[in-house]
Every structure is written in structure tokens, then in C-alpha cells.
Amino acid sequence: MSKSLKYAVFGAGSWATAIVKMLSENLDDIGWYMRSAYTKEHLLREQHNPNYLSSVEFHLEQLKLSNNINEMADWADVLIFVIPSAFIQTELDKLTIDISSKTIVSAVKGIVPETGLLVGEHFNEHYNVPFENIAIIAGPCHAEEVALERLSYLTISCWDSKKAQHIANSLSSDYINTKISDDVIGIEYGVMLKNIYAIAAGIAHGLGYGDNFQSILMSNAIREMKRYIKKVHKMKRNINNSAYLGDLLVTGYSTFSRNRMFGNMIGKGYTVKSAQMEMSMVAEGFYATKSAYFINEKNEKKADTPIIDAVYAILYDNKNPKKVFKKLTEKLD
């Protein structure tokens, strides 16, 4: 991949804003697509996102802002999608140009609900993007800590190691440490599943469980993740690497975690709808829970997933969180 390749970010939430900040450390020109004309105009006037990470000020001469997804997709060579999985297809439906020759990077943490596919699989199947042109960004890395320039770690996964390294180099800085991987499918599943486990951690906290139980929950969660990913994509991987375990831990424990926050509200008695209305950001784990549950149900030999099953029962079957977690505690070790 050439150093002169043009990068564009699609989305205007906190994670998208953080990725633009990372790219701005290395690139002179960064494309940024956002649906909201108000957000674009505010950025041009005030040099920061009005809704997310507003402390981050951008140098406008580095940014090419647009509300036209086709203009941005046509301009860039590397398209980084950071739109919540529940809404990404609505934006992709606006595309009229062919993106099959572009490099697609997914920083989306979930499954496309319309197709039941991972984001990378969705681009391959519905937009004819070759798998070697698809990359995944994984943490552990919270947008809020990127804004504060606290040391954070990213893993870039792509079957083409040169592409992975180029993307990693474009994101790395004094406060962003990057590595590459070829476990594209496993890491993308891990990115999705960790949000479900973070909701479980939040529910437990909201119900009044302490640190001792949280440690048991997280140790069971990484083993459950390993079983699940092995069923859907068997290959040699170390589940204790930062892209899996590290990302799980920060999402399950951090006060910045929107999925933990969402779960905490559920544990305290909020309904799903009221918890969603209370939050200004999307809890990807809510949508991921349904997708992960049904993918596992369809497997001929299901993985043993008591935590996912418990979260699904609470969020989608309206089961009582206290009763569900009481049963869950008897299944963990």
C-alpha cells in the first residue's frame, strides 16, 4: 500500500472522532463523512465535534468534511466505517458508487442485523470487496482515553499483512501502540462478544454483586468467548491476547464503557427502552446479544454460552435480572 493513500472515516460518534484524531497525528488529509449537516458546520466553525469528545480540537486544514457518502467514498482509498451496526445499512443504502476496489476497515462492533453477517462478511458478500481488502480494528482502546492521549493499544487484523501494517502505521503515535493479526473473523467476533459480556458486568453491578463476582464473571466470559469463536472459526489463536482478553477487560470494567453503563441501568431496574433513551450513545451489545444468540442456536453443535443466554433472556425475553443472575451464578466456576 502506498503512503499516499487517502483515508476517510465514516461516522461522527465518539469512536469515529477518536479515529480521526489518531489519523491526524500522521496524515495531512483525512476525509470525514457525517450524516448531520449541523455537526459538519459546527466542526468548521468551532474545530471540534459538538456531541462527542468535544475537548479534541482539529486542524481544519487536515480535514475534508462531507455529508455526501458517495463523495467521500469516491475520494478515499481506505474507508474506515465507524457507524453502529444497527444503522450501518441505512447509510450504505445511500451508496451509488462501486467500492469493491477500496480497502474497507471496520471499527464497527457488531453484526449487520439485516443480513446476520459480520461487517467484514457483509462487505464481501454484498459489495464484492475481497477479504484481503477488509481489515478490522480492535482494542483495548476507549475513545475517551484517546482524547486524553493516554497510552492505548490497537490490533489491526487483515489477511494481507502489508495492508494491516499500513493501517497500523497510520493510526500509531506516542500514545497509540499498534500490532497486526491475521485472525480477521475471530477478532471481529471477539469485538462483538465483549460488548455482551460488558452488559453482563453492568447488570451484575446494578444488582449489587461485588468485585469478587465480577472477577468470576470475566474469567468465565473469556472462556465462553473462546468456545464461541472456536465453533464459528477454528484456527490457532491465543485468546489471552489484548485483542480478545484485553478488550474484554476494559469494556467490562471501565467507567467509560457504554455497554457496562447500559447493563448497570438494566440491573437497577430500568427497562430496555428507558435505558436506551437515557443514553446519548448506542450500546452495541444490545444488538449483538440477539445476533450472537441466534448464530449459536443455528450451529449444529452449539457452544456452551450461559452468559450470553442470560443476557438474552433479560433483554429480549423480559426475564427478571435478579432471578436470571441467581441461576447464572450456579453455572459459573
Active site residues: 194
Assign 3-class secondary structure to the chain: CCCCCCEEEECCCHHHHHHHHHHHCCCCCEEEECCCHHHHHHHHHHCCCCCCCCCCCCCHHHEEEECCHHHHHHHCCEEEECCCCCCHHHHHCCCCCCCCCCEEEECCCCEECCCCEEHHHHHHHHHCCCHHHEEEEECCCCHHHHHCCCCEEEEEEECCHHHHHHHHHHHCECCEEEEEECCHHHHHHHHHHHHHHHHHHHHHHHHCCCHHHHHHHHHHHHHHHHHHHHHHCCCCCCCCCHHHHHHHHHHHHCCCCHHHHHHHHHHCCCCHHHHHHHCCCCCHHHHHHHHHHHHHHHCCCCCCCHHHHHHHHHHHCCCCHHHHHHHHHCCCC
**87 marked ligand binding residue:** yes
**81 marked ligand binding residue:** no
In order of 78, 138, 156, 167, 192, the CA distances from 164 in angstroms are 11, 12, 6, 5, 20
**109 marked ligand binding residue:** yes
**227 marked ligand binding residue:** no
Which set of grid coordinates corresponds to residue 159?
A: 489477511
Q: Which residues are annotated as a binding site for NAD(+)?
A: 87, 143, 258
Q: Which residues are annotated as a binding site for substrate?
A: 109, 258-259
Q: Which residues are annotated as a binding site?
A: 87, 109, 143, 258-259
